[in-house]
Amino acid sequence: MEDNRVFNFSAGPSMLPLQVLRRAGAEITNYRGSGMSVMEMSHRSKVFDEIFQGAKEKLRRALKVPQEYEILLLQGGASTQFSAVPLNLISATGRADYAITGNFANIAFQEAKKYGAVRAACSSADKGHTYIPRQEELDLDPQASYFYYCANNTIYGTEWHYVPETGAVPLVCDMSSDILSTPVDVSKYGLILAGAQKNMAPAGLTVVILRRDLAGHELPITPLMLSYQRMIDKDSMYNTPPCWCIYILGLVLDWVEEQGGVEAMEANRRKRAELLYETIDGSRLFTAPARADSRSYMNVAFRTASDELDAKFVAESVEAGFTNLKGHRLSGGMRASIYNAMPMEGVERLADFIRRFDRAN
Amino acid sequence: MEDNRVFNFSAGPSMLPLQVLRRAGAEITNYRGSGMSVMEMSHRSKVFDEIFQGAKEKLRRALKVPQEYEILLLQGGASTQFSAVPLNLISATGRADYAITGNFANIAFQEAKKYGAVRAACSSADKGHTYIPRQEELDLDPQASYFYYCANNTIYGTEWHYVPETGAVPLVCDMSSDILSTPVDVSKYGLILAGAQKNMAPAGLTVVILRRDLAGHELPITPLMLSYQRMIDKDSMYNTPPCWCIYILGLVLDWVEEQGGVEAMEANRRKRAELLYETIDGSRLFTAPARADSRSYMNVAFRTASDELDAKFVAESVEAGFTNLKGHRLSGGMRASIYNAMPMEGVERLADFIRRFDRAN
């Protein structure tokens, strides 16, 4: 690979397009004649405002975000949103539903208990979070202020391949690990949140897309920086935003657009994931624990029947130049995270490596 | 100036040392043989852990932070700390004292009212925040859980040149705009907070230094990401930290150390500020509104007697290649922010420009 770069299968932060990194490097001491780095610009300056508004507009275009939705560029990661969502939205009825399909959905659920009466509308804990419950398995509260789910479970390698039907109850979705990898009908959601560090930008930026009418109802105890209404009023600049991350987001969105938009990202992610799942399914040693209808296109979790063999695979993969294939400590086994910026070549090489290991062991 | 860079007098984000930007640019696609950018690294990886622990150790060394203090590397800016401070500390007695010496101190004060009984221990609002009250002017509550003040007021150009004596009441200080510019006796404080975007790193990183015994007493409504104890337990990595900003912080700390540490920064900031104040005091047209004993070494606020002349000065300064000299909308006039990375040459040229304008108008 160019510049002696590795194929990095990290669950996040993860690979960025090489052209984005090169562009950022080329203008790091002097951004396009401004005489300064993006890292040095006043966030209130005209030159930064163009970067900021540009990133928002490109994101709106990429995801076809309707005009009645605000795009907020925030700090704190999805974990901060685990608090912000109930603080801002639960006052509608004091109640909310959560779909417990993995570690982060469960943390969000536990956090929301501080601020209202929340229920598990479903849980996949009975089978180690290896599947996504079907629509008819959702136990829905029609009085919930919102229904919360996590679109893709990074640790367990599962993904929702349908949008839950919840009637008048607004959908809140954590899309941290699959945003920009597939088309989304934003109008079906009340709020979408996503940490940037998988498909969008370096860690330190959190995107929130919300229907404007849902803001303005926060609990009085809401910390000032967690109020959606305040952030709408200040166009995400109540204080200094994470300027560098926003700049990189803009460059990544240029790249996505050049590649053909989220439709092209969807085609690419299918190619990547299908090759890996076919290789695993066709092997003697490896299995993918996720149920067939729930497999993630972003995080391919797989394993052998033996912890020793898993450890051997991971050790040999590092020697072969692949990084971060070890599974999360909660799930064990292996995990290949294949976000937008992972080149097909990296996946092909990994598939070859899996096949060779399968024959040799 | 090299690379066609400008002298950027922005109040923040602001200039970074050129050698830091060049180093970051040189390794942006492949950090020291890792095969990846710092922006792409798993925050749990060995290579990033070295960057992370290195930045913490260098900061501890630079500020001589005693071992009973934790260093947290967080997101959300000082404005998030305006909530986190009372949420974590006010339970001791339910009361806290605030010194209202400027805009941000006042926002912190208003925010803390959500979480406890807070009092203004002093206020400089009577004279447009142009001075810092003296020790004997502080109306101290011996039962306060903490005494809060903002070390340097960016907007009004004032700075505390003494550390308040508050007996057993812990000092909480917002050092966003003067941290690393001067030696600090950390042992006098309970908690120090600082947004990074002036003297330390790009926007998106917030440093908190706190005495360990003050953590662990947060209110039950505290959002999970705002709990100091949780962040201590997770070494600031409950979720993905702002990795790129932490990396740049490490490079900036290398630069500070090479320059001679905070003692050298203190000598430099005096030289910069004294030249500007002498130039202003020696002029016919210009005055610095801050009281002589309260003048900031970081933000030199100055003005003429006429708004029109101020506007003319700002317009001509832009033509002359200086950026961001316009004062904040709350204060009007002009402001030269001269943080650690502002070269002496920039200040000398600005002083010349002020003298020329003074003669010509």
pLDDT tens, position by position, B222-259: 999 999 999 999 999 999 999 999 999 999 999 999 99
pLDDT in tens, A100-144: 999 999 999 999 999 999 999 999 999 999 999 999 999 999 999
Which tens digits make up the pLDDT trace of A313-359?
A: 999 999 998 999 999 988 889 999 999 999 999 999 999 999 999 99
Supply the pLDDT for residue B21: 98
| Residues facing A34 on adjacent strands | none
Domain assignment present for residue B290? The answer is: yes
- Give residue A1's pLDDT band: very low, low, confident or very high (50, 70, 90): low
Query: Which residue's entry shows tokens 């940490």?
Result: A195
Asked if residue A179 is part of any domain, the answer here is: yes
| pLDDT mean over B6-11 | 95
Q: Are B208 and B283 found together in one domain?
A: no
Domain holding B30: CATH number?
Answer: 3.40.640.10
The percent helix, strand, coil of chain B (3-state, each to 5) is 40, 15, 40
Q: Is the model's pLDDT at B347 over the cut of 90?
A: yes
In the 8-state DSSP scheme, what is residue A173? E
Give B264 to chain A, closest Cα distance, Å: 22
User: What is the average per-residue pLDDT within A262-272?
Assistant: 98
Going by C-alpha positions, the residue among B145, B169, B170 that lies closest to residue B89 is: B145
Helices (H), chain A: 18-26, 46-62, 77-89, 103-112, 228-233, 243-259, 261-281, 307-319, 344-360
B181–chain A nearest CA distance, Å: 17
CB contacts, 8 Å: B224 with chain A? 79, 82-83, 107, 111
The reply to whether B86 and B26 lie within a common domain is yes
Query: Chain A, 17-46: which have a CB under 8 Å from a chain B CB?
Result: 18, 21-22, 24-26, 28-30, 33-37, 39-43, 45
Both tokens of B103, joined, read: 């805009």
pLDDT at B1: 65
B80 vs B186: CA distance, rounded Å:
22
Q: What pLDDT, in 10s, does the model give residues A57-84?
A: 999 999 999 999 999 999 999 999 999 9
**Cβ-based neighbours of B205, under 8 Å, separated by 6 or more:** A204, B73, B74, B75, B195, B196, B197, B242, B245, B246, B249
pLDDT tens profile A75-112: 999 999 999 999 999 999 999 999 999 999 999 999 99
Whether chain A has a CB inside 8 Å of the CB on B135: the answer is no
Share of chain A above pLDDT 70, in %: 100
Q: Give the HSE-up count for residue A158: Cα atoms under 13 Å, Cβ half-sphere.
A: 28
Q: Same structural domain for residues B81 and B219?
A: yes
Regarding whether A243 and A266 lie in a shared domain, the answer is no
pLDDT of amino acid A281: 98
Other residues' Cβ atoms within 10 Å of the Cβ of residue A306? 12
Residue A140 CB partners (closer than 8 Å, separation 6+): A97, A121, A147, A166, A167, A169
**Does A76 lie at the interface with B, CB-CB under 8 angstroms?**
yes
State the pLDDT at residue A330: 85
User: If you average pLDDT over every residue of chain B, what do you get?
Assistant: 97
Domain-located, residue A123: yes
pLDDT at A329: 86
Instruction: Say yes or no: B220 and B354 in one domain.
Output: no
Quick check: A315 contacting B, CB < 8 Å?
no
Q: Are residues A88 and A225 in the same domain?
A: yes
Final residue in a domain of this structure, among B238, B257, B276: B257
CB < 8 Å from A in window 186-225 of B: 195, 197, 202-205, 220-221, 223-225
- The arithmetic mean of pLDDT across residues A161-189, rounded, is 98
CA B153 vs. chain centroid, Å, equals 9
Q: Which residues of A, range 143-182, sit inside 8 Å of B by Cβ?
A: none
Question: What CA–CA distance (Å, rounded) separates A174 from A207?
Answer: 10
- Indicate whether A246 and A178 sit together in one domain: yes
pLDDT at B349: 97
Q: Is A17 within the bounds of a domain? A: no
Tokens of A278: 């076919």
- Is residue B255 within 8 angstroms of chain A, CB to CB? no
Q: Is A106 in the B-facing interface, judged by CB distances under 8 Å?
A: no
Write out pLDDT tens, residues A284-310: 999 999 999 999 999 999 999 999 999
Q: Which residue of A has its CA nearest to B85?
A: A223
Q: Is A249 on the interface with B (CB under 8 A)?
A: no
- Report the residue of A1, A37, A106 to disrupt the B interface, i.e. the one with the largest count of B CBs within 10 Å: A37
Same domain, B249 and B281: no
Q: Quick one: tokens of B271? A: 């030289």
The whole-angstrom separation of Cα A128 and Cα A135 is: 19
Rounded to the nearest 10 degrees, the angle between the axes of helix B103-112 and helix B77-89 is 40
pLDDT number for residue B330: 85
Whether residues A314 and A224 share a domain: the answer is no
List helix spans (H) across A29-114: 46-62, 77-89, 103-112
Q: What are the structure tokens assigned to A52, written together?
A: 């900021």
Residues B177 and B289 in one domain: no
Which chain A residue has its CA at the smallest distance from B1's CA?
A35
Q: Which of A18, A39, A240 is closest, CB to CB, to B77?
A: A240
Residues facing residue B96 across a β-bridge: B118
Q: Enter the tokens of residue A189.
A: 């959601």
Chain A window 320-339: which residues touch B at a Cβ cutoff of 8 Å?
323-324
Q: Is residue B343 part of a domain?
A: yes
**Domain of residue A115, residue span:** 22-257
- Total number of domains in chain B: 2
Q: Backbone dihedral region of B167: left (phi > 0), alpha (psi from -120 to 50 degrees) or beta?
A: left
Assess contact for A96 and A90: CB atoms under 8 A: yes
Average pLDDT in the B77-100 region? 98
Q: Are A51 and A173 contained in the same domain?
A: yes
Whether pLDDT at B291 is above 80: yes
3-class DSSP state of B266: helix
**Could you tell me if residue B237 is inside a domain?**
yes
In this structure, what CATH number is given to the domain that contains residue B327?
A: 3.90.1150.10
Q: Do A323 and B35 touch (CB under 8 A)?
A: yes
Domain boundary among A257, A279, A302: A257
Last residue of a domain, one of A204, A239, A257: A257
- Considering only CB atoms, which chain A residues are within 8 Å of B111? 223-224
Q: A181 by DSSP, 3-state: which?
A: coil
DSSP category for residue B198: T
Does the pTM of the predicted model rise above 0.90? yes
Are A223 and A272 in the same domain? no
CA–CA gap between residue B242 and residue B236 (Å, rounded): 10
Q: Could you tell me if residue B194 is inside a domain?
A: yes
Cβ of A29 within 8 Å of Cβ of B323? The answer is: no
The 3-state DSSP composition of chain A as helix, strand, coil percent (nearest 5) reads 40, 15, 40
Is-contact B278 B161, C-beta < 8 A?
no
Evaluate whether residue A3 is within a structural domain: no
CB contact under 8 A, B224 and A195: no
